[in-house]
Structure 1
Amino acid sequence: MTFIKTVSSRLCRQFRKVVWNRRKYGTEIRNIGIMAHIDAGKTTTTERMLFYSGYIKKMGDIDSGNTVMDYLPSEIERGITVQSAAISFHWNEAQINLIDTPGHVDFTIEVERSLRVLDGAVAIFDASRGVEAQSRTVWMQADNHNIPRLAFINKMDKTEASFTNSVDSLKRRLKANTLILQLPVIQDCQYIGVVDLITMERMEWDMNVVNPNQHGRKYNKHKLTRTDEGWGNMVAARTSIIEQLSDIYDEVALLWLDGENAGNAEKFPTVELKKWIRQGTLDQTIVPVLCGSSFKNIGIQPLLDAVVDYLPRPEQIQHSFLQYYNDTLSAMAFKVLHDKRLGSIIFVRVYSGHLRSGGTIYNVNKQSEEKIGRLMSVYADEYKDTKQIEAGNIAVISGFQNTVTGDTLVESKEAFEAAVNKANVLHRQQDDGNHSVVLAAVKIPEPVFFCSVEVYSPTQEKALRHALDVLCREDPSVRATIDDGGSIMLSGMGELHMEIISERIKTEFKVDAYFGPIQVAYRECPSVQATHKAAYKRTILDSNYEIEIGIQISPSAEAGTVTDPSQVLKPLYNPELCHSAALGVVQAFQQGNLLGYPVMSATVQLLAVRAKRGCPPGLVTATAIKCTREALDKAACDLLEPVMNIEITTRGENLLQNILGDLAKRQAKVHNIESSDNEGNMKIVAEAPVSEMKGYASRLRSSTSGNADLSLQISGYQVVSEERKHHLKNLMRNFG
């Protein structure tokens, strides 16, 4: 009887939990992202998903520039994804909120802020190339955010495609514990379908079908039997799945060893397999692997099935901050976009509670209220008004004035204060775990390229500043600053990034502007801790002031620059005076003493700020600039330059020596050379200064007649040698 009561109470608790989750999240939701290296087929795959779900009636094509998700002129012209785009559609009674992310290294911030709000992801790989540089980067980003994912080996129709090699590269380069759920079907040297090892079904697409209404929507499904060719291999592959799961979960091992169908892979329950594959995906102990050809319309429906079957619902992802809000609203702004009709709009992921049209919410980061103008569901570049957005969903809001990427949004100031109090109580009770009530902000990388921007007419000055304000708010990795001479300097993450920004300023904002040559953004950083205290006498309009400032500058492991007074550590007394001094520190850090580049990787502390009552704030700021520059001299600053990881895959060994010779001329350090497959192709992994790699893609393409693939990725900053520093100083002198 006790056992029955215990089971009954457990069932009741489970039932209440299910009912609560249904009430909280409303329907089956999957918040997923599509991530991959450039040209692996992300947008094409997304287009097929929309078509087969019935969201669109005709599939678009990247070459034709008519895909749903790539709608910006720069995306259509180049055939690449520049901005992440979100869309909602339904599959098997589940609502899928999907974000298609860029694959180009210049737009890593787009991937980062999208991953921040996702519950699961589909990682796409080119079957002829396996794991590439940017696919490895986005995989690591997903690791950092603990995102469960599926792997989709795309482009299986290519002559050089290899499913086996691609899976091996996932194991070797990503350390992924792959679980192969499908095998490719090849007939007469043509890829035509997949074998589903879970349901033991063979799915074939008729490659000769020309009916435009088909486009891969219909396919033949055949239940495999012992009489089918390759039956033994397929049973062996299914056995491997069961054994892998048995190694992880005791429950599977018991079924496999002592269950009704023990040791019989053919009859092992499909329901149990799906259950534990899902659990392994959520636990991130396995990565299910599927295959297909998005371009040839093969394998997308089974991929959608896998998204629903194996990727998590919102309530299955643990977020520590949710415990403090008692089901009231908590949400994160993860993207800002400028819409021609709506103005500035904010993409928001709702974690708990709900958003209501016309309501007021509280921005924790800005400590201010925001009024919801219009509340909308998102469909790529189209938005539909809605009255309410439930937890687990993604929304678009217009009317916000101050909200930017990474801000935490809650129901009210009172709700936030209550959450803080609850977190403080828990922190006193248990001094372990994360007790933050604010969602972790998106980490913004340092820009590595810059150029000057000028307008041809003074009447365009206001339009330019508006365009820069909009673009910097949209994309946190874009920076616009004014140097000592009053010139506007525009910074970004790469040459392509800078080109697209300049194009948008000219075409989208109609600003007739001149953009100077794109230059590498060097940095300066302190090499030793330095303390400097001094008293400065100043005279303004016969009034004499003595200002005393003490400052300490220390090297820091953090790679960012000091761009805001709040980053400067200050004394607790006289906050207005200390703020004025901190403004001076920030200004001084924008142009270092070596070559005038911003100072980074530094911690700054104002030790003392004293001045006679009535001293003008501007005078304190100017004095702090002088004191900071003197402290920087003592800190023995080094010059830093951005470096990038290089990955080159050659088709043919005879190209290797020429490529290595060219890399040597560009100051590159070669880290590894390995065979990428069994056909004599080689992979070179190296690192080189960004300044040396400008134009290298074109050079490599011409020198190898297109028989080499290049991936470049910014990897950080390194100290410039004395010889190279001398060389750069001469260049600066000549430029000046």
Structure 2
Amino acid sequence: MFKVIIEAWRFFPVKFDGILNKLARMIGNLSFAKIRVYKGLLKAFMRTRLRKECCRYSTASKIHNIGVLAHVDAGKTTTVERMLFYSGCTSSLGDVDKGSAVMDYLPMERERGITIKSAAIWFMWNGHRINFIDTPGHADFVFEVERALSVMNGAVVLLDAISGIEAQTVHVWRRASRWKLPRIIFINKMDRPDVDPAKIFTQVQRQFGVRLVPMQVPIFDNGSGANDRFCGLIDIISMEAFLWHPNSDGTVYTRQPLEAIPNKKQLKQAADARIHLVETLTEVDEALIDAFLNSGSNSLHIDSNILGQAVRRATLSNFLIPVFYGSSLKNIGIQLLLDAMVTYLPSSEERSNGKSLNFISTNYLELLETLSFIKDASKNLHKTENQSEDAPIKYRNISLMLNSLASSLKRKDISVFAIVFKVIVNRGIRYVYVAVHQGCLQKGQWLRLLRGGRVRVEKLRECIGGEAVLGSDSIHPRSFSGIGANNTGSPINRIDQGNWGIMISNDRIRTGDIFVDDSDINMSMDHTADVKIQTIFDGLIDSKTSGNAYLSLELPSPVVSIALEPIGAEATRSLPQVLSWLLDEDPSLRVDDNQGQILLSGIGELHIAAACDRLTNHFRLNIRTGSVQIQRREKILNEVVGQQTYHATMHKEIPVDVVVRLKPVDNPGKLNGIDNEIIIDECVTNEYKYLGIEKVEHACTAGVLAGLQSGPIKQLPISGAKVTVESINTYGITVTPSILGAAVRFAVLHVITTLPSQFVSIVEPIMYVVITLPRNEDIGNVIKDLTGLRQGKLISINNYSTDYHVLIAYIPLKHMLQYTT
């Protein structure tokens, strides 16, 4: 029975409301007010039951993990709100301008009308479960986009029909290409005056350099699109017209044959588009070639199911990108977009096979293998003065465990593989968003973190938009229908393969952590060994890479900072813990308290403002903030080799000779010109392997980093340097890792402070700026401001439209603070 009701609800939501009215009236002769109350209760009950029943029929082949990507103000959140409404997830249309959007759950998001934090939610459509994630469009929140991409199976790229492609659009497109995500494009705001579908299509194809195929033809009142009302779409696959009534909520639309469309121009456009689609697909699809020949070589006579399957195969292989049109604000085209998402984008089953290993960075696998074969260092890895001779056995267990894990990961022979892609901390409790790529997570199950440590799954919940996680202070009064914010997500007992969910934990789980099942490690380990593995990974891996070493995410380097000053004893006591929670939520933030003050660093002004807003409004800390400071660096321009003797003192004075080589990094683009590359020569680690190779590398790396903190000109940190520790000589005297680290720091610092001034320069962040300017504005004054007062370099002036100019320039970040505000 429930299956029948599910299908009825998906296609006849208006009639479903009528049934609810009749059920309420059957209760008795009640007043209209009471009928409304009963109707609301019945509707909430039925929707909840329906959604839960739908979950029973959701398998990996029917689950789609999809996100939306776009530049700021393209209409992402408005589009998602329509999806939630038409799928029955919400009972009313959310409005970004009114602050009633479900997916914008932070007060700052509702105040500014932008997305700051990615928000995940799920809903059903045509028997498919869609796990959907709304990502920010602002450049300051690129890490939010990056970690969302890591768990997507496909993406919807949203474009503004008027402004087209902007700088951030190109940026997110490249990141999606890095993850090889199948994509569809949705061109939004087709209701705007003077919209030109052909022009925006051409611009996208030219700038993205990909093969695009239009899947729809927009329908305008008079057919031209210039100042005409956008009212519907022609579907190229079914060759039918879909028309929406103006000023409606978009729930009801009419489906008509093409013969009902009076405008012959639009009919010809639809026929030409189908012919172009078939010609494009027959380049690679043999099944479609056979269908084309069987249809008498007439593209219009090919069966719509065969053509749709061909488009799906081409989309999954990234051969082409389907393009769809609509207007989220006017409620046009969203249902067809939902259909396209479940039809053309891959399911979790299709993307999970062979994908798990791609999430783990190469250096992590190398480290596993390296550590697993270190036998000579076993006596010193765990051994203390009071430790017995069984220490090598303990290390041997760790070695076997690491080797087993590395082999299992390479064979992809693991029963559970889950990724943490988001963490929200509320009152000390972590709401951990996990994506299960293999196996399933169950309550009571023991999991092992790849960075060391074990976690027990205590509570699991459905993915929600984010409001309830932050507590009642942030919840907007508008309600979810069924599983949503007002009930904090329904408790569940398991998260199956291909699905997302929330794990509630008190353990320190961070974004990017990876879980495997404890049974995948066929070794029983004591607590001391487990803690030691965690120490190794937290120390050695984090010192070798700037960012997350387990998940292959790209962490952007911070470029702006702000000083934080707690006011009062309570704020002083709480600030370190709260900052730790904040960094667990957003690893792209940095905290530095080594200069006599607490500095919070981020990617941009808005990024820092959002973090400070969290500190004051959510965590309720009384703090004072300084002005935004631009992080400048000093950069080495020439190669230099230095040898220095450090005099250490233990029971006697020990001379330690260190040779270090400093030069500019070989590939500045790889490290974004900010981070440094550190190499510890093998002769150093082999010479002092009795200390433990990982301890030697960790101590030497820490010494190099400490020595690079102060340059010779302005005592700014050194960036873009490749530092090699070539040799360390203690003349046969046994030393400790701390002495090696101190000696390396002394040598690096001496080389830097004695550098000639011509060997060093000061660098600062430079912004790539794209300014869209209406033609009636004075372009001369804008150019004068950019190249004069702001010391920018104008790259080009593009005229994509007769209505506006597009200026592209490079400008120092220090001259762009508060430029848009």
**Fold conserved between structures, TM > 0.5:** yes
CA-to-aligned-CA distance 1:338-368 (integer Å, 9 cap, x gap): 134x71232221111111122111211x132
CA-to-aligned-CA distance 1:457-500 (integer Å, 9 cap, x gap): 3442221111211111111110001234x211110011111111
The amino acid across from 1:325 in the alignment is K
> In terms of mean alpha carbon deviation, does 156-165 or 84-93 score higher?
156-165
CA-to-aligned-CA distance 1:190-211 (integer Å, 9 cap, x gap): 11111111111111111144xx
CA-to-aligned-CA distance 1:252-302 (integer Å, 9 cap, x gap): 23432x21x223233211011100110111111111111111111111000
The reply to whether residue 537 of structure 1 matches residue 647 of structure 2 is yes
Percent of paired sites with the same residue = 31
Residue among 517, 540, 558 paired with 2:627: 517
Structure 1: how far apart are the matches of 2:272 and 2:158?
Answer: 26
CA-to-aligned-CA distance 1:546-567 (integer Å, 9 cap, x gap): 4443333342232376699999
Structure 1: how far apart are the matches of 2:57 and 2:76?
Answer: 33
The amino acid across from 2:282 in the alignment is S
Contact map agreement 1:346 1:400 (CA 8 A) in 2: no
Residues 341-356 of structure 1 aligned to structure 2 (within 5 Å): 343-356=429-442
Structure 2: how far apart are the matches of 1:446 and 1:54?
Answer: 41
Contact map agreement 1:564 1:586 (CA 8 A) in 2: no
Contact map agreement 2:678 2:722 (CA 8 A) in 1: no
Residue of structure 2 in register with 1:668 after alignment: 792
Structure 1: how far apart are the matches of 2:520 and 2:261?
Answer: 69
Residue of structure 2 in register with 1:608 after alignment: 728
> In terms of mean alpha carbon deviation, does 229-238 or 390-399 score higher?
229-238
Secondary structure of 1:687's counterpart equals strand
Contact map agreement 2:158 2:186 (CA 8 A) in 1: yes
Secondary structure of 2:462's counterpart equals strand
Residue of structure 1 in register with 2:660 after alignment: 551
Gaps of 5+ in 1: 1-21, 210-214, 418-437, 699-736
Contact map agreement 1:372 1:400 (CA 8 A) in 2: no
Residues 197-236 of structure 1 aligned to structure 2 (within 5 Å): 197-209=236-248, 215-225=249-259, 228-230=262-264, 231-236=267-272
Structure 2: how far apart are the matches of 1:585 and 1:487?
Answer: 23
Gaps of 5+ in 2: 1-55, 223-227, 358-408, 467-487, 524-548
The reply to whether residue 384 of structure 1 matches residue 418 of structure 2 is no
Contact map agreement 1:410 1:416 (CA 8 A) in 2: no
The reply to whether residue 46 of structure 1 matches residue 132 of structure 2 is no
The amino acid across from 2:240 in the alignment is E
Deviation (angstroms), 1:312: 0.4
Structure (1 or 2) with the greater strand fraction: 1
Deviation (angstroms), 1:402: 4.1
Structure 1: how far apart are the matches of 2:146 and 2:138?
Answer: 13
Residue of structure 2 in register with 1:498 after alignment: 608
Structure 1: how far apart are the matches of 2:709 and 2:570?
Answer: 28
Residue of structure 1 in register with 2:591 after alignment: 480
Residue of structure 1 in register with 2:423 after alignment: 336
CA-to-aligned-CA distance 1:146-178 (integer Å, 9 cap, x gap): 001111010111113222221111101111211
The amino acid across from 2:662 in the alignment is I
Secondary structure of 2:312's counterpart equals helix
> In terms of mean alpha carbon deviation, does 624-633 or 559-568 score higher?
559-568
Residues 396-407 of structure 1 aligned to structure 2 (within 5 Å): 396-399=502-505, 401-407=507-513
Structure 1: how far apart are the matches of 2:681 and 2:145?
Answer: 30
Secondary structure of 2:747's counterpart equals helix
Deviation (angstroms), 1:653: 6.0
The amino acid across from 1:571 in the alignment is T
Contact map agreement 1:546 1:612 (CA 8 A) in 2: no
Deviation (angstroms), 1:56: 0.7
Contact map agreement 2:216 2:270 (CA 8 A) in 1: no
The amino acid across from 1:361 in the alignment is L
Contact map agreement 2:639 2:663 (CA 8 A) in 1: yes
CA-to-aligned-CA distance 1:510-566 (integer Å, 9 cap, x gap): 2221211101111223323333332223568x9644444333334223237669999
Residue among 588, 591, 602 paired with 2:707: 588
With over 3 angstroms needed to count, the CA separation of the structure-2 counterparts of 1:336 and 1:591, relative to structure 1, is: farther
Structure 1: how far apart are the matches of 2:696 and 2:270?
Answer: 75
Residue of structure 2 in register with 1:275 after alignment: 309
Contact map agreement 2:121 2:133 (CA 8 A) in 1: yes
* Number of equivalent positions: 646
Structure 2: how far apart are the matches of 1:656 and 1:91?
Answer: 48
Residues 354-373 of structure 1 aligned to structure 2 (within 5 Å): 354-364=440-450, 366-373=451-458
Structure 2: how far apart are the matches of 1:323 and 1:377?
Answer: 31
With over 3 angstroms needed to count, the CA separation of the structure-2 counterparts of 1:386 and 1:664, relative to structure 1, is: same
The amino acid across from 2:712 in the alignment is N
The reply to whether residue 247 of structure 1 matches residue 273 of structure 2 is no
Q: CA RMSD in A?
A: 2.8
With over 3 angstroms needed to count, the CA separation of the structure-2 counterparts of 1:414 and 1:551, relative to structure 1, is: farther
Deviation (angstroms), 1:392: 0.9
The reply to whether residue 457 of structure 1 matches residue 568 of structure 2 is yes
Contact map agreement 1:376 1:385 (CA 8 A) in 2: yes
Contact map agreement 1:578 1:609 (CA 8 A) in 2: no
The reply to whether residue 685 of structure 1 matches residue 808 of structure 2 is yes
With over 3 angstroms needed to count, the CA separation of the structure-2 counterparts of 1:447 and 1:227, relative to structure 1, is: closer
Secondary structure of 2:263's counterpart equals coil
With over 3 angstroms needed to count, the CA separation of the structure-2 counterparts of 1:226 and 1:194, relative to structure 1, is: closer
Contact map agreement 1:336 1:345 (CA 8 A) in 2: yes
Contact map agreement 2:68 2:158 (CA 8 A) in 1: yes
Deviation (angstroms), 1:614: 8.4
Residue of structure 2 in register with 1:15 after alignment: none
The amino acid across from 1:508 in the alignment is H
Secondary structure of 1:203's counterpart equals strand
Contact map agreement 1:565 1:579 (CA 8 A) in 2: no
Contact map agreement 1:450 1:492 (CA 8 A) in 2: yes
Deviation (angstroms), 1:690: 1.0
Secondary structure of 1:532's counterpart equals strand
Secondary structure of 2:281's counterpart equals helix
CA-to-aligned-CA distance 1:375-396 (integer Å, 9 cap, x gap): 2221112333221111111122
The reply to whether residue 119 of structure 1 matches residue 186 of structure 2 is no
Deviation (angstroms), 1:135: 1.2
The amino acid across from 1:305 in the alignment is D
Residues 84-483 of structure 1 aligned to structure 2 (within 5 Å): 84-187=118-221, 189-209=228-248, 215-225=249-259, 228-230=262-264, 231-256=267-292, 258-259=293-294, 261-317=295-351, 318-319=354-355, 321=357, 324-326=411-413, 328-340=415-427, 343-364=429-450, 366-381=451-466, 382-399=488-505, 401-412=507-518, 414-415=520-521, 440-483=551-594
Contact map agreement 1:375 1:388 (CA 8 A) in 2: yes
The reply to whether residue 625 of structure 1 matches residue 734 of structure 2 is no
Contact map agreement 1:101 1:114 (CA 8 A) in 2: yes
Secondary structure of 2:766's counterpart equals strand
Structure 1: how far apart are the matches of 2:516 and 2:168?
Answer: 35
Structure 2: how far apart are the matches of 1:653 and 1:182?
Answer: 34
Structure 2: how far apart are the matches of 1:609 and 1:58?
Answer: 72
Contact map agreement 2:237 2:308 (CA 8 A) in 1: yes
Deviation (angstroms), 1:648: 1.2
